[in-house]
Every structure is written in C-alpha cells, then in structure tokens.
Amino acid sequence: MPKLSRTPSPAVALCSTIALCLAATSAQALEISAGDYEPLPPDANALLLYLQHAQSSDFYQNGDKVSDRFKLKTDVSLLRYIHAFNVGDNVSVEPQFILPYGHLHASGDASALGQTTGVGDLILGVPVKWTLDTAHKDVVSIAPFVYLPTGSYDRDDALNLGENRWRLLLQAVYIHHFDEHWALDTAADVSWFSHNNDFGPAGVTQKQQARYEYQAHLSYKLSPQTRVAVGVGRIEGAQSTVAGADQDDRLGTTYVRGMLTQMLTPSVQVQVELGRDIQVEQGFKEQARLNLRLAKLF
C-alpha cells in the first residue's frame, strides 16, 4: 500500500476549509435567539419549522480576502420537536430533536465546488432550565446536544450537509430580566468532534480542535405578543488537521442579528431574523442572512 503524504493536496486542503466553514453556519452551530431558553409550560410540546437563507461572495484565509467572487448560497430548513416536563418547582427539562435538510450551491470562483441537496446530521438535545428566585425570574440553563453522523455525505464532494463524524455541543445560557420589558440573553458553547476517517477524495483522516461560540441578545417586549431584539456573536477555534497536516484554518467570525417575534395566536408564533457577518478570519463571509421560524405550541 502506498504511504500517504502528510501534506494534503490543494484540493484536499480546500475541502477542509469548505467543510469547516459550512460547519460554522447557524444550522450546524445552534445559534440561539432572544427568548429561546425561556422555559415552556410543563407537559407542553412545541413543533418548530425553520427556513434559513444565506449568501456569500467574499472568501478569507488568515484574515485576508482572497476572492470577492467565491459565491455560496445556502438554503436550509430544520424541523424541531420539543417536549417539556418539570422535575421540581423551578426546574424544567426539554428533550428535543432537530433534523436539517438543505441545498448548497456554489458559483463564481467557487463553481467547481458544485451543489448538493440532502439531509443534515440528526441533533438530539436535553436542555435543563432553572428559573431563579430573582426579582424578575432570571433563567439559567445547561444544554447538551449530540450530533449523530446520519446526514448526507460523500467524500468526493466538497459540499456536504452531513459531517461524517460525531459531535458533542455543550451550551450554557443565562437570561437576565431587567424588568417586564427588557431582557439580556447570553450564551456560550463548546463543541468537540470525533475524527472523520473518510475525508476528501483520498479518504484521509480529518481531526478538529474544539470550537467555541459566544452570543448576546438584548430584547424588548413591545407587548406581551411582540418582541424585538438585536444580537452579536463570535465564533473561535476549530482548527483542523488533514492526514496529519495542520490546515492553519482557525475560525474567527463576528456576526450581528436583528429579530422580530410575534405571537399570532396564543399557541402560534412567527419569528423573522436578519443578519450578516461583520468580520471573518477564515472562510465565507455572509453578506446577508434571513431566518424564518414558525412555532406551534400544543
């Protein structure tokens, strides 16, 4: 058997960068929105449908823009189901699953990457939420999520919805209610990855270091039915190696979000969120993002 070089080909290196950047999208990253970690009523169920559209044309490596025509369009939908139950007077547990499905399309200088449609990795989570005995009932939560390697994956494709590896994400959230109108949601999470032993056309091993994300969303309730919010987030880490070679692809992305949430009925909610990246060290810089969410409580 021929010995593999420890220096991957440019094509494999590019695949590594693309895979890392796709894993940084909100569909994979479990971004929160203002109010997401407010506890559901005991024994309630929630069914949520997300539609996410994003487009990029600027591509960065080590903080330098290498192309303004490296175009990528992503359209991802997510189906999410949550069941809530109480295990104490102020403690709620909300087991859930998230199933992504999407289409990725590259063009311009990135046209060689092609396009793909498929199912993303199934995500299982069990957030635990504590309502604190503070003046306005602040909330703290610890939420573990596991990504199962069930999504569409082909090592010969640069674009994939699945990652072909296990992933554990641990998210911590604190919601501070200043009063009945104002709230600040802060979150931090870390992801650990198993190895992808079938990466790129040569089927080499991809390893990735821990990935970190920090978020803060300031919200204001215009009425009991309407909430607006602005937020900022930062992604760090996740440097990878391919066939033992360091890819020098550590992430460093800062993004902003603006959100409107409206209760249409006592059990139906719609949410619209706009956003973009404002600083990128590695990979695609999102010029525009639109997230839509429809939620039904029953």
Q: How confident is the model at residue 21 (pLDDT cuts 50, 70, 90)?
A: low
Domain of residue 182: give its range: 10-297
Asked whether residue 1 is domain-assigned, the answer is: no
Distance of CA 196 to the CA centre of its chain: 19
Secondary structure (3-state) at 113: helix
Residues 169-181: pLDDT tens digits? 999 999 999 999 9
Which one-letter amino acid corresponds to residue 176? Answer: H
In a domain, 2, yes or no: no
Q: Which helix (H) or strand (E) holds 52?
A: strand 45-61
What share of the chain in percent tops pLDDT 90? 88
Average pLDDT over residues 116-141: 98
Q: Phi then psi for 26, rounded to 5 degrees?
A: -65, -25
**What mean pLDDT, rounded, does the chain reach?**
92
The pLDDT assigned to 78 comes to 97
Is 86 domain-assigned? yes
pLDDT value for 197: 97
- Using pLDDT thresholds of 50, 70 and 90, give the confidence band for residue 29: confident
Query: What is the band of 255 on the pLDDT scale with cuts at 50, 70, 90?
Result: very high
Query: Would you tell me how many other CB atoms lie within 10 Å of the CB of residue 77?
Result: 17
Maximum average pLDDT range among 6-20, 25-39, 153-167:
153-167
The pLDDT value recorded for residue 2 is 37
Q: Is the pLDDT of residue 247 over 70?
A: yes
Q: Please choose, from the candidates 59, 85, 83, the residue with its C-alpha nearest in 3D space to the C-alpha of residue 72.
A: 59
List, for residues 201-241, the tens digit of each pLDDT value.
999 999 999 999 999 999 999 999 999 999 999 999 999 99
pLDDT band at 23 (very low <50, low <70, confident <90, very high): low
Q: Within 10 A of 78 (CB to CB), how many other CB atoms are there? A: 20
Q: What pLDDT shows up at residue 215?
A: 98
Q: Is 4 inside a domain boundary?
A: no
Check if the beta carbon of residue 41 is closer than 8 Å to that of residue 92.
no
Q: Given a cut of 90, is residue 12 above it in pLDDT?
A: no
Residue 119 located in a structural domain: yes
Say what the pTM is.
Answer: 0.91
Residues composing the chain = 298
d(CA 202, CA 3): 12
**Averaged pLDDT for residues 42-54:** 98
Give the domain CATH number at 70. Answer: 2.40.128.130
CA atoms in the 13 A half-sphere facing the CB of 74: 30
> Is the pLDDT at 285 greater than 70, yes or no?
yes
User: 234 Cβ partners below 8 Å, 6+ apart?
Assistant: 213, 214, 215, 253, 254, 255
Q: Tell me, what DSSP letter sits at residue 17? A: H
Q: What pLDDT is recorded for position 249? A: 92
Looking at the 3D structure of the chain, how many domains does it have?
A: 1
Distance CA 73, CA 37 (A): 29
**Does the pLDDT of residue 13 top 60, yes or no?**
no
Structure tokens at 178: 């200043």
The residue-averaged pLDDT of 51-79 equals 95
State how far the Cα of 262 lies from the Cα of 235, in Å rounded to an integer: 28
- What is the pLDDT at residue 171? 98
Predicted confidence (pLDDT) at residue 139 exceeds the cutoff of 80: yes
Percent of the chain with pLDDT over 70: 91
Rounded distance, CA 135 to CA 155, Å?
53
283 belongs to a structural domain: yes
Mean pLDDT calculated for residue range 69-73:
95
Residue 55 lies in a domain: yes
- Distance between CA atoms of residues 107 and 110, nearest Å: 5
Whole-angstrom CA distances from 59 to 69, 70, 113, 234 are 8, 6, 14, 18
Residue 178 lies in a domain: yes
Matching residue, tokens 């504590």: 130
CA dist., res. 236 & res. 118, Å (int): 27
Burial-class residue 23 by CB neighbours within 10 Å (0-12, 13-18, 19+).
buried
pLDDT above 60: residue 79: yes
